[in-house]
Structure 1
């Protein structure tokens, strides 16, 4: 199960940068099949979809850069990296000329272009079981929607590329008339297609994908649709999608919070709270999965482990704000919130926290380090870290559902879902208190609940933006107090700049406000 997404055929198609295609460079590679020679069977249709999933585990997506784009720009973590790109991403000053901006941009379009290719190919192959065809098409639409959701939230008005690029004109798409509203509308269209085709799970399907749990489901599509509506402030529109997930009976909260970030396959597979995730493994194969065409020698490790680890690259540290938030409440047994040691590595002997990386604590005892998505609590080689990355998990859906309920007038029901998340952390029952809050009070509490449950999961920056805090001088001052990197934030820096390399390649592309 852990490796099937990398067992894909290498096809002679464009899958990454939107580059020019000069006829003088049209040299046939005899080691690779052309698309017209390849797509003939059901197995090849599934391979086309598997190739899309493979794009999720490269550097531009969930191996490293997509989480960093969220974590660095929020107030939960600060960069201390010698890599200037990470430091300038964190303090909102990265110039468009920094070549590293292209990593995520190409990562998103790798997924988008592979999804376009799969959608075209599946339509051409006649000999596919009808139900499998629907599932494959549904997965391609979901994955394209996910890639565009990430791309537009990072870069704003990226070009809409919805067909396989086959000639010089299609290699130079324009975004000059494209708005984020247009992109959101396309994401909604793709998700509507996915929702009608995807199964609840793959446990009982009939076909070669039976039992393959990492594939997109209707629960994942409903969750992303709800999130899409929420990000546009359409609380009422989001409600039925979150409600469908919460009431489906398919998901629950894992009893042990720390198990959410284990690389033990048995613990990962037993987690009832995962809805959609990027699969990584502990393979020690020789080729690193930074990007490009996959090979049978690819390892599939999560690079967040060495990047965030205090014992390795040590590129990020938790802010004191995050430390204080996670220490704010103790459990009903007067113990530290169990989410603290799963998120932050600290030397706290009074709390029984005296280990780091599977050894007696050897780091600076006066500093705090990031634990989540690293091997801080277990030890091991970070370059074979196999912790799956949660793209959508049930606790996030519960808190987003609560936000929508509160903003449509049902704060008591919203309080129930918030307390459900708190119960897993063994925190005091404050449901009745929350139920009596007005909307402003509830949203302040919800912000706390989200940061303690979902810290260092790439979400906080997007919460800050959609809540309007960047436009509120008092909130902006608060953010700067939480994280001094906000002292260099300016209003044109809500997005990463378009990579200058991409603007140079494509004469029809225009930058966003951060390129000004």
Structure 2
């Protein structure tokens, strides 16, 4: 590449800037500039390229806005944001397809795909340690699959780009089945190349278990039950079964002091560092900016709320010791996060009663997971929070495996994996309280179990899609009863978001999603 420098001849002659009349354009090589033509040469370059894919996670699309598509847009959430366009995501009535949240989430995911494609295309040609080279490519394939999984489940009809993009490219959309097939291919190849675990500063990179976990999730989302069970079996009954386990304390899955633990299959790494420090620099903000948008008034923008019906799911049964399900206090921040009520419930160091919320706010519920309320005592949330996002947890793997087995007609064999999740919470095993369920009954129970275990972890929208709630008028009516915003949901339209119109305007080969 060439860089054009402009020199003011008059300035060189020490004349005043105001008298500078003539300019000379010089087209010269900058011998110190790294670009595609001279970068991909060493093992260090390969590592830097892979790290750049991970570095994309701190951008707003994957970090701040993805939960709005996966959680708040679902039936368990709603928005009270004064920002109309942000509120329209959960309201299912978006009219500005180009606003910041849309463009960030779309663009930052494609930026991740582009960076992964660079590694996959260039690293195999570098002369370096062969095993390390294969691992780097495996990491890139896992991360490309992670980005494509979100793109295809949010927008549905997307291009499939597998080579580093060029400025004049105008890719066409492909059938969704083709995208899913590539996700499966990438993850299968990644699983073969990635190690089961890492040590030291390498902890947090994609592992073999992460590849199998995401592969199982991809098959499950397509209702490919046997393939899902086969992939997840590596973690549940195969070699990974000795590596992963449920933590005794559920809350430890959401603390910054207990990250990358035995229950973590894949975590997105965040670290609190100085804010507003540029992009892709050694001191860039690598924290997560999710919390300010989810926190209650006085500590955040109160843009995201949880429906109160979710809290009642946790109250359906007590633990074997006669106590409330401990996951409720970790999942929801509201007037009764402490069972004794608002005089005992802590909100960033205040009691809920002390906050003196108005009539509208006092009945609200906020997603507590990934807030920093135990760290930001009486303070406002930060835009560079330190908490890792647990993208795949082992509890999710166990519940997905049980779902796959149930849909294969192996309901009795699915019980033990749900029991493990319930018993960690102190609940009686299903095999004791609801033995002998048929397939349909077990599915209904699984839907409840995934609410109490995974609410607020960006799984809900795809759960509902997989279970057919967006395609069946009778099931849609259930969502509408829980969440009035679903009155705006139209079958054949709202299952997928509209593609940003700006993308369609510059690419004649893109077609807007149906009915948008």
| Fold similarity call, TM over 0.5 | yes
Tell me: CA distance 1:108–1:27, structure 2 relative to 1, closer, same or farther (3 Å).
farther
User: 2:366 aligned with 1:369, yes or no?
Assistant: yes
Q: Does the Cα contact within 8 Å between 2:72 and 2:305 map onto a contact in 1?
A: no
- Pick one of 258, 262, 266 that aligns with 1:272: 262
CA contact (8 A) 1:152 1:158 kept: yes
Question: Which residue of structure 2 lines up, in the alignment, with residue 50 of structure 1?
Answer: 51
1:72-151 equivalences under 5 Å are 72-95=72-95, 97-100=97-100, 101-126=102-127, 128-151=128-151
Shift of 1:27: 10
Superposed CA deviations along residues 411-437 of structure 1, whole A, max 9, x for unmatched, are 122111111001111112222444410
What is the CA distance between 1:36 and its match in structure 2?
A: 1.6
Map of 1:302 onto structure 2: 288
Does the 8 Å CA contact 2:308/2:364 hold for their aligned counterparts?
Answer: no
Q: What SS does structure 2 have at the residue aligned with 1:35? A: coil
Q: Which has the higher contact order (CA 8 A, sep 6+)?
A: 1
Say which of 207, 210, 215 aligns to 1:217: 207
CA contact (8 A) 1:343 1:370 kept: yes
* Cα 1:223–1:29 shift into 2, 3 Å: farther
User: Is the contact between residue 305 and residue 366 of structure 2 (CA under 8 Å) also seen in structure 1?
Assistant: yes
The whole-number CA distance in structure 2 between the counterparts of 1:201 and 1:426 is 30
CA distance in 2, matches of 1:359, 1:32: 53
> Structure 2 regions of 5+ residues with no counterpart?
3-26
Call closer, same or farther: CA 1:29–1:190 in 2, change over 3 Å.
farther
Matches within 5 A, 1:300-449: 300-310=286-296, 311-348=299-336, 350-351=339-340, 353-361=344-352, 362-363=354-355, 364=357, 365-380=362-377, 381-449=381-449
1:186 is aligned to 2:186 = no
Deviations 1:161-220 (A, max 9, x none): 11112462xx21111xx11111001111111211110111123xxxxxx65111111101
The alpha-carbon deviation at position 475 of structure 1 amounts to: 1.9
Partners of 1:53 and 1:350 lie apart in 2 by 40
CA contact (8 A) 2:55 2:286 kept: no
TM-score (norm: length of structure 2) = 0.87
Provide the C-alpha distance between the structure 2 equivalents of 1:87 and 1:359, rounded to a whole number of angstroms: 28
Q: Partners of 2:55 and 2:398 in 1: how far apart?
A: 28
Deviation at 1:388, TM superposition (A): 0.6
Secondary structure of 2:135's match?
helix
Cα deviation digits, residues 364-413 of structure 1 (max 9, x gap): 35432221111234435433321111111101000000001111121122
CA distance in 2, matches of 1:514, 1:324: 35
Question: Are the equivalent residues in 1 in contact too, given 2:275–2:383 (CA < 8 A)?
Answer: no
How far is 1:333 from its partner? 2.0
Mapped pair 1:197 → 2:198? no
* 8 Å CA contact retained: 2:72, 2:306: no
Q: Which residue of 239, 242, 245 maps to 2:232?
A: 242
Task: Kindly provide the CA deviation profile for residues 313-357 of structure 1, in whole angstroms up to 9, marking residues without a partner as x.
Answer: 110111022111122222222222111111111233544742111
Asked if 1 retains the 8 angstrom alpha-carbon contact of 2:418 and 2:430, the reply is no
Q: How does 1:480-499 map to 2 (within 5 A)?
A: 480-491=480-491, 492-499=493-500
Contact kept, 8 Å, 1:345 with 1:376, in 2: the verdict is no
Q: 1:507 to 1:32 in 2, by over 3 A?
A: farther
Structure possessing the higher radius of gyration over alpha carbons = 2
Cα contact 2:124–2:134 (8 A) shared by 1: no
